[in-house]
Structure 1
Amino acid sequence: MDDLPTLAQVAAAAGVSPATASRVLTGSVRVSTSTRRQVHDAMSRLGYVRRRAPRGVSNRRSDQLIAAVVCESPQRLFTEPFYARLLSSAEDTLAGHGVPMMIMTATPNTSTITAPPLVSGTVDGIILIGARERHPILVTLAASGIPIRCVGRPPDDIDIPYVDMDNRDGGRQAAEHLLLGGRKSITAIGGPPGLPGAADRLEGFLQTLSRAGMINVPVAYGDFTHASGCHAMQWLLNRVPHLDAVFAASDTMAAAAIQTLRRAGRRVPDDVAVVGYDDSPIARHTAPPLTTVRQPVEELTSMAVRLLLATISSGETPSNNPTLPTELVIRESA
């Protein structure tokens, strides 16, 4: 017996008519933002799963369409090289299968208008990127029944299939390299704590230092941008004037740290060793070139896309969440 909540029950819980709830699901523009939020909140509370027509029925498209949903603002999407690498890889892989891709952004403030077209049957599958804790679109998509694959481990213990990188081990490799280099006053610039990948990098780094007897390591936090890296590095210099090493959770922040150290009259790596994370193109063009942890962004994304397409094709719930290795790339900054 099917005891899953019905659309009528969702409508009742949201205090709207079934017709209005249906318009929300189909992405109609004739519904206010506040009403959309009420309906999606009710869907999340009740665990409503949209009944999708089986592939092959007459009202379904014969072609496929995949949505890449980036949980960031458009400004971040178009200014951070990481997203260009990731989305290019996704599109290349999909193009090889003859499947088009559309790109959407979804911040916590815009998720109520982003979710409806995604859960209405417009797309066949979703690649979810950059999901942070307490992001409202997570629960909505997890309950939608749409095939989905998250790039990076999802937060909040949300049950969404994913492909991840071994970020903890990446942090471990960075810490061991600095310890082996004889550094005694080590600091870190972490990424957003609500992003699982950033949290894992910092955790692996700090745990390794702790096992070596180095506790209470000073940490400043940034949001992967150049400006935040500058501010974080300056904060660390003010707090620990004699620091001799810094690990930054992204190459962009590491490049900003090098710039800030140079302005403060500190030489890299003679006075301060700097290790980044990503092995993005910028790592080869800093002065000096950046020692960094390489994460296989293109391979990660391609695997996520292939697994999503396999799920769509088979109709089976995936059970595997692969984790790819990271690798320390030694250059001149540390």
Structure 2
Amino acid sequence: MSSRPPRGGHQPTMDQVAEAAGVSRATVSRVINGAPTVDAKIREIVQRAIAETGYVPNVAARSLVTRRSNSVALVISEPDRPDNHSFLNRIFTDPYFGRITAGATQALRPHDIHLVIIPTDSTDHHQVIRYLRQGHVDGVLLISSHEHDELPGQVHDLGIPAVLSARPAQPLSRPSSAASFVDVDQRLGARLAADHLLGRGCRKLATISGPTDIPSGLDRLEGFRIHLEQRGLGPVPAVESDFTRAGGEESARRLLTEHPDLDGLFVASDLMAEGALRAVQDMGRRVPDDIAVVGFDDSSAALDCRPLLTTIRQPVEEMAAEMAEVLMAHIASPGRLPRSVIFQPTLVIRDSA
């Protein structure tokens, strides 16, 4: 095989790749476009010629043939915030979103698929829908679980392949790939937290829940309360919060003021638990001697806590990678039926309980 470097600063052409590989231009095109009919040895020769000549395929022209953009959107849909800054601040500081991005990117990169991150709230859903409708991406990984969020239904109606990061908060209108989702067994995680606190001898238990208009917030709350009621320890005091440090701190102060005899606390996210620990210690309680605390997520926030946080681990990176795999299957075969994948949580014991 001989290679012909570009002359006069011009980019190598497909014809030069074909000459270097000793095949036709049509064969080079089939290799570039991923046609399955090309012999493996021929494919290897052409790929070597592409590398040696430095040829870069014309992505725009290729997309006209394949009707693929080789891009996937990670759409993060959050409820309205008082100001856009606080909305974006949570998107880029909450460890959960970073872990989702990392897991999805790791799964997509070997397939040469790019991830486009789109944070949104209801004020600019129309812009997101317009972007998706214009064919800039082949599919959507959608982080949305709020009960009144209309975006899942809007994406569903576009007919674009999509996978949700959690069980849908409300049913969609017809079966499609948009109804596929990946989640963790939220209620099991809450039961694991309850059993661990009971095993430590805690009997005056309470919980700080996430928003109850999303399935994860409601499932963690009900899983914890129902399990304890079945053990004869209900009703369990609960305060609904917002998955933020500040929300966890405020909620813990309220719980300890209203129920000063608490000796065990389940907090439905590590970020909230970090704030709750600050409040507990500021109010003169020792952790875990006076009050044991269990979080949920096993995110980096659990290791920022003092003492280190005992928590329920959901394998977010693996879940995001599975979302990407399910989405790629839907992109390759648009007629596939929706698929749900449920991961199992585990208890991670550290110093707070």
- Asked whether the two chains share a fold, i.e. TM above 0.5, the reply is yes
The count of residues paired between Structure 1 and Structure 2 equals 279
Give the structure 2 partner of residue 252 of structure 1.
271
Superposed CA deviations along residues 191-250 of structure 1, whole A, max 9, x for unmatched, are: 111121121111111111110112221111211111001111011011111111110000
Give the structure 1 partner of residue 124 of structure 2.
110
TM-score calculated relative to the size of structure 1: 0.80
Query: In structure 2, what is the Cα distance between the partners aligned to 1:196 and 1:134?
Result: 12
Residues 1-334 of structure 1: pairs in structure 2 closer than 5 A: 58=64, 61-72=67-78, 73-158=87-172, 160-334=179-353
Query: In structure 2, what is the Cα distance between the partners aligned to 1:226 and 1:207?
Result: 26
Query: In structure 2, what is the Cα distance between the partners aligned to 1:99 and 1:325?
Result: 28
Give the structure 1 partner of residue 31 of structure 2.
none
Query: In structure 2, what is the Cα distance between the partners aligned to 1:59 and 1:122?
Result: 15
Q: CA deviation at 1:138?
A: 1.8
Q: State the secondary structure of the residue aligned to 1:68.
A: strand
Q: CA deviation at 1:57?
A: 9.2
Q: 1:84 to 1:109 in 2, by over 3 A?
A: same
Query: In structure 1, what is the Cα distance between the partners aligned to 2:235 and 2:105?
Result: 43
CA contact (8 A) 1:66 1:127 kept: yes
Query: In structure 2, what is the Cα distance between the partners aligned to 1:260 and 1:287?
Result: 12
What amino acid sits opposite 2:349 in the alignment?
A: I
Mean CA deviation greater in 61-70 or 137-146: 61-70
Give unmatched runs, 5+ long, in structure 1.
1-55
Q: State the secondary structure of the residue aligned to 1:109.
A: helix
Q: 1:224 to 1:62 in 2, by over 3 A?
A: closer
Superposed CA deviations along residues 25-54 of structure 1, whole A, max 9, x for unmatched, are: xxxxxxxxxxxxxxxxxxxxxxxxxxxxxx
What amino acid sits opposite 2:256 in the alignment?
A: L
CA contact (8 A) 2:69 2:137 kept: no
What amino acid sits opposite 1:325 in the alignment?
A: Q
What amino acid sits opposite 1:309 in the alignment?
A: M
What amino acid sits opposite 1:120 in the alignment?
A: Q
Query: In structure 2, what is the Cα distance between the partners aligned to 1:305 and 1:130?
Result: 16
CA contact (8 A) 1:230 1:256 kept: yes
What amino acid sits opposite 2:180 in the alignment?
A: P
Give the structure 1 partner of residue 48 of structure 2.
none
Of the two, which has the highest radius of gyration?
Answer: 2
Q: State the secondary structure of the residue aligned to 1:283.
A: helix
Give unmatched runs, 5+ long, in structure 2.
1-61, 79-86
Q: CA deviation at 1:130?
A: 3.1
Q: State the secondary structure of the residue aligned to 1:322.
A: strand
Query: In structure 2, what is the Cα distance between the partners aligned to 1:57 and 1:126?
Result: 18
Query: In structure 2, what is the Cα distance between the partners aligned to 1:62 and 1:249?
Result: 40
What amino acid sits opposite 1:186 in the alignment?
A: L
TM-score calculated relative to the size of structure 2: 0.76
Superposed CA deviations along residues 159-216 of structure 1, whole A, max 9, x for unmatched, are: 6110111111000100111112221110000011112112111111111111011222
CA contact (8 A) 1:105 1:114 kept: no
What amino acid sits opposite 2:232 in the alignment?
A: G
Q: CA deviation at 1:119?
A: 2.7
Q: State the secondary structure of the residue aligned to 1:198.
A: helix
